[in-house]
Amino acid sequence: MMTQAFYTGLSGIKSTQTSIDVTSDNIANVNTVGYREYSVEFSSLFEDMVTASNDSGIINSSIGFGSQVQGTSMSQAQGTLAITERSSDLAILGDGWFGVSGEEVMYTRAGDFTFDVNSSLVTTGGANVLGTMGKNITDGVLTSTLTEIPLGSVKAQEPLTFPTTLEYPVQPTSNVSFYANLGDKGVTTKIGSSAIDAQNKINNLEVEFTKSAVQVTPGSQWDVIATTKSLDGETIYDTQSGVLSFDDSGALISSTLGTIDNNGATVNIDFGSGYTGIMATSGEPTSGSSRSDGTSAGDLVGYDVNTYGDVIATFDNGMQSSVGKIAVYHFQNDQGLNRAGASSYTQSPDSGEPLFFQDANGKNIIGTEIANYRLENSNVKMEVALTELIIYQRSFDSSSKIITTADEMLKKAIDMGA
Task: Give 345-374 pLDDT, tens digit per residue.
Answer: 999 999 999 999 999 999 999 999 999 999
Residue 11, helix vs strand vs coil: helix
Do 154 and 329 contact (CB within 8 A), yes or no? yes
Q: Return the H-helix or E-strand segment holding 5.
A: helix 2-28
Strand pairing class (175-181; 265-270): parallel
Instruction: Compute the distance between CA of residue 68 and CA of residue 66 in angstroms, rounded to an integer.
Output: 7
- Give residue 232's pLDDT: 93
Which is more confident, 416 or 189? 189
Is the peptide bond prior to 218 cis by the omega test (within 30 degrees of 0)?
yes
Closest of 160, 71, 56 to residue 118, by C-alpha: 160
Instruction: Compute the distance between CA of residue 53 and CA of residue 334 in angstroms, rounded to an integer.
Output: 50
- Give residue 224's pLDDT: 98
Closest of 180, 173, 171, 169 to residue 237, by C-alpha: 173
- Give residue 43's pLDDT: 76
Instruction: Compute the distance between CA of residue 158 and CA of residue 105 in angstroms, rounded to an integer.
Output: 10
Reported as a pLDDT band with limits 50, 70 and 90, residue 103 is confident
pLDDT for residue 56 is more than 60: no
Longest pairwise C-alpha distance within the chain: 142
Instruction: Give the number of other Cβ atoms within 10 Å of residue 269's Cβ.
Output: 21
pLDDT for residue 262 is more than 60: yes
Reported as a pLDDT band with limits 50, 70 and 90, residue 49 is low
- Give residue 286's pLDDT: 85
Instruction: Compute the distance between CA of residue 390 and CA of residue 236 in angstroms, rounded to an integer.
Output: 87
- Give residue 372's pLDDT: 96
Residue 395, helix vs strand vs coil: helix
Do 372 and 306 contact (CB within 8 A), yes or no? yes
pLDDT for residue 124 is more than 60: yes
Do 68 and 11 contact (CB within 8 A), yes or no? yes
- Give residue 34's pLDDT: 95
Mean pLDDT of the region 20-49: 86
pLDDT for residue 380 is more than 80: yes
Reported as a pLDDT band with limits 50, 70 and 90, residue 4 is confident
Q: What is the mean pLDDT of the chain?
A: 91
Instruction: Compute the distance between CA of residue 405 and CA of residue 183 in angstroms, rounded to an integer.
Output: 111
Cα 415 to the center of its chain, rounded Å = 74
Phi-psi sector, 2: left (phi>0), alpha (psi -120 to 50), beta: alpha
Instruction: Compute the distance between CA of residue 366 and CA of residue 328 in angstroms, rounded to an integer.
Output: 5
Instruction: Compute the distance between CA of residue 150 and CA of residue 366 in angstroms, rounded to an integer.
Output: 10
